[in-house]
Structure 1
C-alpha cells in the first residue's frame, strides 16, 4: 500500500493510539514511486515458474490463415519462433534462428518436406531433424554425419478449426489436447470461427478482464460515452438493459481448483432473471456464455459463445486467440457477423482490438491488413478511443505490466483475485490437482474431454417482495446452478444437457414458491 493511503502517525495525536488512516489532499508526492510487478504471475520466459507451468499446456500460437507460402514469424512465451505449412500439408513450429549460424528461418523457403534456411541451405523437418546439408559433391558422408549432429529446436503442432496449437514443454510430459465438451461441440448449424487479437500489455491483465464480469456496466454502456462519440458495436452491444445492471457475482472454484465458475445474476425485468456463468480455466483459458442475450425468452443451459486463450507473446505483449461460435443455435438474436471475425478483427466488440472499425477491411487477405501499431497512443484512432474506450484501452492502459501492489480492490473484483490465487497455487505446486502433472492426469482420466461450466440462462423468476429476498434469490440461484453443473459433471453430450435443463427448471420452480 502506498504512503498516501497507509496508516500514518498524526502529528496532532495526543492519545495512546497514535495512528489514524489519513488520505492526504494533493498527496501525489507520497504515491509517486511505482513498486515492481509480480514476476511469479506475469513473467513467462523459459525457466520462469509461470513460463514452465504454461509450457506444460497446449497453447494456440497463430491462425491457420497465417500459414501462407512464406514462413510466419511468431513470438510466444518470450521465444522467437517460425510457423509454416510444408508442401505435404504438415505444420511446423520451429525456433526462429537456424541452429547452424543463427539466420532467421522466417526468410527460409518452404519445401515439400520441411523448410530450407536462406543462408546456407540447411533443410529442417517439422520435428527439427536436419534433412539436408549442402556440402560439396563427394562429401556426402561428411554431410550426413553433420546432419545427424545438429537439430533445430521444434515443437509439436496440431490444427483445430482454423487455429494452430503448439506444445512447448518437455516431450515426455505432453498432456492430451483438451477437447472441451467433446471437441468443443456446437449445435447443428453453428460453427467455430477462429480469431486472433493482439494486446499491448502483459497477458495477466487481459486474463483478469475475462474474470471481471462487473466492468460491462460502465465500460460498455453508451450512456457513459463522451457526447455520444462512438461508432460500431462497442457500446450497448448486448442489446439488453440487463447488461448495464450490476450483477450479483458468485465465484466458485471447480474441478479441484483447476478452474473458476463466475456466476453473475442480474435482473432483466420484473419477471425474468439473467444468469450468466463464465468459466475460467488454468492457466489461460476462458469460456464465455452468449454475449448478446436480451433476456426476452426463457433459456436454460445455453453453451459457449466465445472460447479464448490469452497467450503471452512476451512479458509486455500478448494476444487473445480462440473461437467465436457463430450460428442460430447460440446467436438466437442473429446479431453476429462472421465476416468481421478473424485476424485482428472481432464483430461483437470493436474496442477489443488495437485496430478499430474492422469493417473497413471487408473480405481481406492477411497481407492487406495494416500492421499492428507498436504504441497504443500512436494509433490513427487514438482520439476516437479517448471518446469511447473499450476493453483494449482499459486493459493496456494499466501499464505494460499491471502493478498489483497499487490496486485497491472491491468485492466485485473477487473473481480475478481468486483466479490469481488458484494460478499461484498451481505454479507453486501447493494444489497438486492443478499442478501441471495433476492437470494432465485429470485430462487423461476424462479422456481429454472435460465439461465446461459455461452457460447462459434466463429464468422466469419474478421480482421478490423485498430487496433482502431479491438478493437472497439471486445468490441462491447462482450457487445452486453451479452445484447442478457439478452434479452433472460425469455426464456428457445430450444426456448432460437434458439433465441440467431439467434441474434448472426445478430450481426455477423452487425459487418461485
Structure 2
C-alpha cells in the first residue's frame, strides 16, 4: 500500500506546528478520534469570553406573536428566561426561576402590571421589582419589607417591527439600540417582516454559513437535487444561472475591524456582472442583499433583503431571527411570499428551517404550529431533506458544535475564517476598536444608526476577451466597490446613496473603455 504525505499549508495545531497528514486509503481508523470544539468562539454561557462579549449587545430573543396570554419560556445564551407582555402593554424578559423558591414563571399569571408566580403568588414587575408578597392579613409591613429585600433577575426589552429584543449585559453599560441606517433603508411600500427559525446546532456554524458565499454554487443548485426530487419551488432561487456560477470573492474587514464586507462577483451573461455585497457585523449580525436577483436589468446600490441575528440558545442550539424585507422596492421580481414568513417558516429555499414544508400559514396562532422536532433525523420529511438538502441540513450536520480542528479550508472559505479572526481580536483585546465599550461609543457617535456595506448590484460590464482578463475585471470591480463604500462612510442616508451610485456609474463606464 502506498502512503502519500501531504503538507497542509497554513494549518497549525494549538502549539503552532504545521500539520502533516498521511493520506491512507480506507484509513478511517487513523482519523476516528474527534478532538474537542473551540470553546473560545462557540461557548456563550455566563462568564465565558464569547458569552460576556455577546451580552454587551442587543439581541432579538423572540417574535412579538410569541407573547400571548401566557408567558413564553425561552433559553438565550444558556439562560432560562420568560418573556411576556403585561396588561399595560409592557414587555418583560425575566429569569425563569422565581427568586423566592425557584418555581418557573412560565406557569405564572400575567397581571395588569407584571407577572405573578404560580407557586406562592409573588408579583414581579418587568424590571424585576417585587410588587406584591401575599403575607397573611395584619402582616403587611413584614410583606413590604420582604418585597424590598428580593428582586427577580430581569433584562431590559424593546419591540421593533414584530421582534422582541433584550439587552442582557451590565445595566450601567447599556449600548444604544442599533438602528442600522435609521430604518434599514426600507423603501416606500416595503416592510420589515419578522421571522424566527430554530437551528439544532451551535450559533457559530450558522453565522459561518452567512459568510460562506460560495456554497450556493452547489447547495442551492437545482442540478444537484437527487433525481429531480424537489420539495417546494425555491431551488435555483436566484432565477438565473448566475447563482450557480462560482463567485469571485473579495473579503475586507471594515469599520475598524468591527465588521466584514463580503463582495462576490458572478457573471450573468456576456454583458452583465452581478456583484452582491454581504455585510457581517460582530458579533452575530448579517445583512444580505436581494436573494432572488436574476441580473436581467441594471441595478446599483440595492439594499437590504434579509437582516438576521444568529442568537445562541445554548451551546448546541441557536436561532436565526430577524426580518425579511418584503415589497416591490427590494423584490423587483415579485417572488416573495409574505404569508410564508414567520415563526419556523420562511418563503425561500426549502431546508432553511427544521420543519420542511410547513403548512402554508396565512394568519395563524402560535399554538397551531407543529412543535420543533427534537432531532433532525426524526422529521417526517427526512428523506425529502436527503434528496434536496438546504442550509439547515448542511449546517446542523457539521455536529452539534462544529470541530474546527478537523476542517481543511480552501481559498473560498476565507470569509468565515476572517470573521472568526475578527471575533478573536475582539475577545482578546488585540483590536480595541472592536471591544464592547468601543462598539457602544461608535453606535453613539453614529446616533445608533451606522452605515451598512450591504448592497446588490448589476453592472453593464462586458466579459473580458480572455479568462485572465475576465478574472482581473471581476476582481477589480469587487475591490473598487468596497473601496467606494469605505469612502462613503462619512455620508448618511440619501446623500450617501447618491454618492455611491455616482461612483458605481463611473466604475461601470471605466470598465467599458
Provide TM-score, normalisation by structure 1: 0.96
1:101 aligns with 2:105: no
- 1:235 is matched with which residue? 235
- 1:314 is matched with which residue? 314
What is the root-mean-square deviation of aligned Cα atoms in Å?
1.4
- 1:129 is matched with which residue? 129
Instruction: Note the C-alpha offset of 1:181.
Output: 1.1
Once residues 117 and 155 of structure 2 are traced to their aligned partners in structure 1, the CA distance between those partners, rounded to angstroms, is 18
- 2:11 is matched with which residue? none
Task: Tell me, yes or no, if the aligned pair for 2:231 and 2:384 is still in contact at 8 Å.
Answer: no
CA gap of 1:336–1:359, structure 2 versus 1, over 3 A, is: farther
- Pairwise mapping of residues 102-181 of structure 1 onto structure 2 (< 5 A)? 102-181=102-181
Once residues 22 and 125 of structure 2 are traced to their aligned partners in structure 1, the CA distance between those partners, rounded to angstroms, is 65
Deviations 1:235-276 (A, max 9, x none): 111111100000000000000000000000010000000000
Once residues 167 and 122 of structure 1 are traced to their aligned partners in structure 2, the CA distance between those partners, rounded to angstroms, is 24
SS of the aligned residue for 1:36 comes to coil
Instruction: Note the C-alpha offset of 1:22.
Output: 3.5
- Pairwise mapping of residues 11-90 of structure 1 onto structure 2 (< 5 A)? 22-90=22-90
Once residues 397 and 307 of structure 2 are traced to their aligned partners in structure 1, the CA distance between those partners, rounded to angstroms, is 24
- 1:340 is matched with which residue? 340
CA gap of 1:301–1:103, structure 2 versus 1, over 3 A, is: same
- 1:366 is matched with which residue? 366
Once residues 329 and 4 of structure 2 are traced to their aligned partners in structure 1, the CA distance between those partners, rounded to angstroms, is 53
Once residues 160 and 469 of structure 2 are traced to their aligned partners in structure 1, the CA distance between those partners, rounded to angstroms, is 47
Once residues 21 and 415 of structure 2 are traced to their aligned partners in structure 1, the CA distance between those partners, rounded to angstroms, is 27
Once residues 6 and 249 of structure 2 are traced to their aligned partners in structure 1, the CA distance between those partners, rounded to angstroms, is 29
Provide TM-score, normalisation by structure 2: 0.96
Deviations 1:284-330 (A, max 9, x none): 00000000000000000000000000000000000000000000000
SS of the aligned residue for 2:197 comes to strand
Stretches of 4+ moved more than 6 A in 1?
A: 3-8
Once residues 320 and 217 of structure 2 are traced to their aligned partners in structure 1, the CA distance between those partners, rounded to angstroms, is 22
- 2:419 is matched with which residue? 419
- Pairwise mapping of residues 472-483 of structure 1 onto structure 2 (< 5 A)? 472-483=472-483
Segments of 5+ residues of structure 1 without an aligned counterpart are: 9-18
1:506 aligns with 2:506: yes
1:214 aligns with 2:214: yes
Instruction: Note the C-alpha offset of 1:362.
Output: 4.1
- 1:355 is matched with which residue? 355
Once residues 261 and 20 of structure 2 are traced to their aligned partners in structure 1, the CA distance between those partners, rounded to angstroms, is 39
Instruction: Note the C-alpha offset of 1:184.
Output: 1.6
- 1:15 is matched with which residue? none
CA gap of 1:348–1:21, structure 2 versus 1, over 3 A, is: closer
- Pairwise mapping of residues 443-458 of structure 1 onto structure 2 (< 5 A)? 443-458=443-458
CA gap of 1:425–1:21, structure 2 versus 1, over 3 A, is: closer
- 2:485 is matched with which residue? 485
1:282 aligns with 2:282: yes
Deviations 1:362-387 (A, max 9, x none): 43210000100000000001011011
Instruction: Note the C-alpha offset of 1:494.
Output: 1.2
Task: Tell me, yes or no, if the aligned pair for 1:4 and 1:31 is still in contact at 8 Å.
Answer: no
Once residues 236 and 7 of structure 1 are traced to their aligned partners in structure 2, the CA distance between those partners, rounded to angstroms, is 37
Once residues 369 and 20 of structure 2 are traced to their aligned partners in structure 1, the CA distance between those partners, rounded to angstroms, is 57
Segments of 5+ residues of structure 2 without an aligned counterpart are: 9-18
CA gap of 1:82–1:457, structure 2 versus 1, over 3 A, is: same
SS of the aligned residue for 2:183 comes to helix
Once residues 124 and 217 of structure 2 are traced to their aligned partners in structure 1, the CA distance between those partners, rounded to angstroms, is 52
Deviations 1:167-218 (A, max 9, x none): 0000011000111011323000000000000000000000000000000010
- 1:200 is matched with which residue? 200
Once residues 358 and 376 of structure 2 are traced to their aligned partners in structure 1, the CA distance between those partners, rounded to angstroms, is 16
- 1:16 is matched with which residue? none
Task: Tell me, yes or no, if the aligned pair for 2:340 and 2:360 is still in contact at 8 Å.
Answer: no
CA gap of 1:105–1:402, structure 2 versus 1, over 3 A, is: same
- 2:271 is matched with which residue? 271
- Pairwise mapping of residues 175-194 of structure 1 onto structure 2 (< 5 A)? 175-194=175-194
Once residues 4 and 29 of structure 1 are traced to their aligned partners in structure 2, the CA distance between those partners, rounded to angstroms, is 16
SS of the aligned residue for 1:238 comes to coil
- 1:326 is matched with which residue? 326
Instruction: Note the C-alpha offset of 1:4.
Output: 9.7
